Amino acid sequence: MTKPILLSIPHMGDRELKLIKEAFDTNWIAPVGPHINAFEEEFCQVTGAGYAAAVSSGTAALHLALRLLGVESGDEVFCSTLTFIATANPIAYLGAKPVFIDSDRTSWNMNPDLLQEALENRARFGRLPKAVVLVHLYGQSADIDPILKACNQYDVPLIEDAAEALGATYKERSPGTFGRIGIYSFNGNKIITTSGGGMLVSDDPQLVAKARFLATQARDLSPHYQHSEIGYNYRLSNVLAGIGRGQLHLLSERVAARRRNFKIYQQVLGNLPGIEFMPEAIFGRATRWLTCLTIDPATFGADREQVRIALAAQQIETRPVWKPLHLQPVFAECEYIGDTVAKDLFTHGLCLPSGSNLTDEDLEQVINEILAVHHNSSKTHTYMFL
Ligand SMILES: *Cc1c(COP(=O)(O)O)cnc(C)c1O
């Protein structure tokens, strides 16, 4: 049996085990310890963030970010619609209401004009949202400047969900470091991983200190465990921070490997009728965390699902582009601002195996299977015609 080719799997280097062993040797097996502090510092150096708090997941980081900005039950929070549900779940944890915003076609991320218009409208009725959550999708930064400008104009804080975009750039800087708070994820499928983990960053040291406080059960300064606020158990383990330090060291190599995957896919598949890759916006450098494309069934000869199923039969894992959150049953009642850009990307979009540890043979196999679907369907098409 051939080995399956998966979408995006962990890729360890040769320092991680040594750093884990260091944690064991010094018995720092806790959500506190020297690896955590070092990981936070090194993360700031790599991203240019001011201050960072390592936490147990990207979702936890988002939950803390919303809490820090005072989001409460009944508040509204604007949020990109084309994303993984983890972006919006923490809004619901707090009893707040997400309002979803459509993408633009150039970056697949939040459309800045729609945001500007929506904030203008809301300001008129005195109903501004408590925050905006902006996603940087599949390794590509959103167009941050106009989004930040709109937020600043109405004094609405911006949270950046850069879970998928560590290593990307926006005008030479790291997405995630522009807004009031940014978050990253080190889940097993992300560009670097601690098996599970996340980071909250901000230029405001007090916000990050407060994040650490909330992430350790909101313990007041006293020997007898006194609490004046509800907190969480959200800190990252010192063992996992050791993995993170080893992985962080490899970030630029991982970005290069994923961009190389994209290039190889694009060279062959880019010429097929009906195939379009996710464009790389001019304002930055995408990591190609996942290589994504759209398939126009009329010209390609098969639709996205036919391609996905044909590849699955060959043990090749691909995924549809995220189902927009405004189309998710759990958010059916939520307000939506936009058109069908995100919906169309979901209908026709496919994410290809994109791990930094894929071999050239893996890539060739994926490419050949897609070519086979195209050829078979165009053959069927010809027979039908005759
Ligand atoms: C992975 C991901 C998250 C959540 O990160 P976890 O560490 O898995 O909790 C949030 N937002 C986006 C866009 C993601 O892809």
The residue written with tokens 């897609």 in the block is 370
Tell whether 260 is covered by a domain: yes
pLDDT > 80? residue 357:
yes
| Same domain assignment for residues 309 and 211 | no
Residue nearest atom 12 of ligand 1, based on CA coordinates: 163
Q: Which atom of ligand 1 lies nearest, measured to the CA of 135?
A: 13
Instruction: Count how many domains the chain has.
Output: 2
Q: Which atom of ligand 1 lies nearest, measured to the CA of 83?
A: 13
Name residues whose C-beta falls within 8 Å of residue 124's C-beta, 6 or more positions apart in sequence: none
The whole-number average pLDDT for the span 256-262 is 98
| Last residue within a domain, chosen from 201, 227, 250 | 250
| Last residue within a domain, chosen from 192, 226, 250 | 250
Q: Residue 380's pLDDT band (boundaries 50, 70, 90)? A: low
| Same domain assignment for residues 230 and 267 | no
**Pairing status of strand 158-161 against strand 131-135:** parallel
Tell whether 3 is covered by a domain: no
The whole-number average pLDDT for the span 293-304 is 97
| Same domain assignment for residues 268 and 346 | yes
| Residue 198 CA to ligand 1 centre (angstroms) | 8
Name residues whose C-beta falls within 8 Å of residue 106's C-beta, 6 or more positions apart in sequence: 143, 279, 281
Q: Look over the chain and give the mean of its residue pLDDT values, rounded to a whole number.
A: 96
Kindly state the percentage of the chain with pLDDT values over 90: 96
Tell whether 178 is covered by a domain: yes
CA distances from 43 to 173, 221, 279 (A): 14, 27, 28
| DSSP helix/strand/coil, 2 | coil
The region of weakest confidence among 173-182, 234-243, 370-379 is: 370-379
Whole domain around residue 100: which residue ranges?
15-250
Does 175 sit in the ligand 1 pocket, CB within 6 Å?
Answer: no
| Same domain assignment for residues 209 and 344 | no
Tell whether 289 is covered by a domain: yes
pLDDT > 70? residue 194:
yes
The whole-number average pLDDT for the span 339-358 is 98
- CATH number, domain of 348, equals 3.90.1150.10
| Same domain assignment for residues 207 and 137 | yes
- CATH number, domain of 223, equals 3.40.640.10
The residue written with tokens 């639709």 in the block is 303
| Same domain assignment for residues 223 and 302 | no
Q: For Cα atoms 83, 86, 90, give the angle at the middle one, nearest 5 degrees.
A: 125
According to the model, what pLDDT value does residue 384 have? 47
Category of 48 on φ-ψ map: left (φ > 0), alpha (ψ -120 to 50) or beta: left
Q: Residue 207's pLDDT band (boundaries 50, 70, 90)? A: very high
pLDDT > 60? residue 313:
yes
Ordered DSSP codes for 63-129? HHHHHHTT--TT-EEEEESSS-GGGTHHHHHTT-EEEEE-B-TTTSSB-HHHHHHHHHHHHHTT---
Q: What is the pLDDT of residues 151-173, one digit of tens each?
A: 999 999 999 999 999 999 999 99
Tell whether 246 is covered by a domain: yes
| Last residue within a domain, chosen from 208, 223, 250 | 250
The one-letter amino acid code at 84 reads F
| DSSP class of 180 | S
Tell whether 199 is covered by a domain: yes
Q: Which residues have a catalytic role annotated? A: 190
| DSSP helix/strand/coil, 344 | helix
Question: What angle, 0 to 180 degrees and rounded to 10, lies between the N-to-C axes of helices 34-47 and 238-248?
Answer: 30
- Upper half-sphere CA count for residue 152 (Cβ side, 13 Å): 9
| Same domain assignment for residues 305 and 353 | yes
Tell whether 341 is covered by a domain: yes
Q: Which of 87, 234, 321 best tests ligand 1's pocket when mutated (most atoms within 8 Å of CB)? A: 87
| Same domain assignment for residues 169 and 287 | no
The one-letter amino acid code at 164 reads E
According to the model, what pLDDT value does residue 386 have? 41
Q: Which of 109, 136, 164 best tests ligand 1's pocket when mutated (most atoms within 8 Å of CB)? A: 164
Q: Residue 379's pLDDT band (boundaries 50, 70, 90)? A: low
| Same domain assignment for residues 222 and 338 | no
| Residue 86 CA to ligand 1 centre (angstroms) | 5
Does 84 sit in the ligand 1 pocket, CB within 6 Å?
Answer: yes
Tell whether 2 is covered by a domain: no
Q: Residue 127's pLDDT band (boundaries 50, 70, 90)? A: very high
Kindly state the percentage of the chain with pLDDT values over 70: 97
